[in-house]
Structures are given as structure tokens and as C-alpha cells.
Amino acid sequence: MDFIESVQDIKKNIKTLNTYLAKERDTEEFKYGAEKIRRGRCFIVVCDSDKHSFSPSRFVGYKDNNMFSHEENYERNGNYTNSRIMEVLKKKLITEKNNYSKWIELEKSYKLYCDSLGVAVITWSRKYWDMG
């Protein structure tokens, strides 16, 4: 699969993922999207009306991605998508070490987001790009 080339590509993939998450909870699409959120480590964060949404880089980083092409991409790798997203956004990841106050704010929002989706938070370190 090709990597994203623009912010528009990123937004398109975020919209695709959010479409899955807007489905009924017992659908394959919702379960797929929720599992991507639960298992993600690096996220693009979008704030809309005081609510944050989180999209994992490994999904968002491939051009025109969807649940079928993503699962068929056996070479998918978050390290590659992270590098590409960093190039496109021209932003570094927000981590616990480089911007603790912003990271803790996003981490709290991530946990609330997971709760709203009904998914358990995995206790590993996460990183974020804040698109505002």
C-alpha cells in the first residue's frame, strides 16, 4: 500500500475510521474501529466541539485506507507510517518525556474516548500528534 501524501489523505482516513465508530456497537465495522483505537500506540488527535477523537497512525498512514485493505496489508508497520505522518504534518509526536503537560491532557482524553467506545485501555505508553 502507498503512504499518505497530504493532510487531506490523513483527514480522509480519519473520516473512514470515524464512520466505522459511528455504527452500532454490534457491527463488524464498529468492533474493528474500536479495536484499532484500543490497540493503538501513536495517534492523530482531532478536537471537535471540546471532544477529542483519536486515530491510530498505523491505520491513518496508508493512502485511501479501509478495514479490508488494512488487514490485507501484511507489511503494515507503524514505524513507517509514523515517519510519513511526521513529514506530512511537520510536527513531532507529543510524548510523556517531551511535553508532559500536553501529553497528560491527551492521555486523559484518550481514556475518556475509550470509555465512550466501551473499550478497555491497554496500559502501555502512547504518543500523539495534536491536529487541534
* 2 within a domain of the structure (yes/no): no
Which of the four pLDDT bands, split at 50, 70 and 90, describes residue 44? very high
CB contact set of 131 (below 8 Å; sequence gap of 6+) = 10, 44, 45, 46, 47, 89
Query: What is the per-residue pLDDT for 1?
Result: 78
What are the angstrom distances between the C-alpha of 50 and each of 18, 46, 53, 77, 107?
16, 10, 10, 31, 15
Model confidence at 101: pLDDT above 60: yes
Summary mean pLDDT of the chain? 91
Residue 26 belongs to domain spanning: 7-130
Identify the pLDDT of residue 3. Answer: 86
Examine residue 45 and state whether it is found in any structural domain, yes or no: yes
Counting every residue, how long is the chain? 132
Q: Per the confidence metrics, is the pTM higher than 0.75? A: yes
Q: Is it the case that residue 22 has pLDDT exceeding 90?
A: yes
Spatial contact of 107 and 114, defined as CB atoms under 8 Å apart? no
Q: What is the pLDDT of residue 132?
A: 76
Mean pLDDT of 11-30: 96
Domain total in the chain:
1
pLDDT recorded at residue 68: 67
Whether 63 is in a domain gets the answer: yes
In a domain, 1, yes or no: no
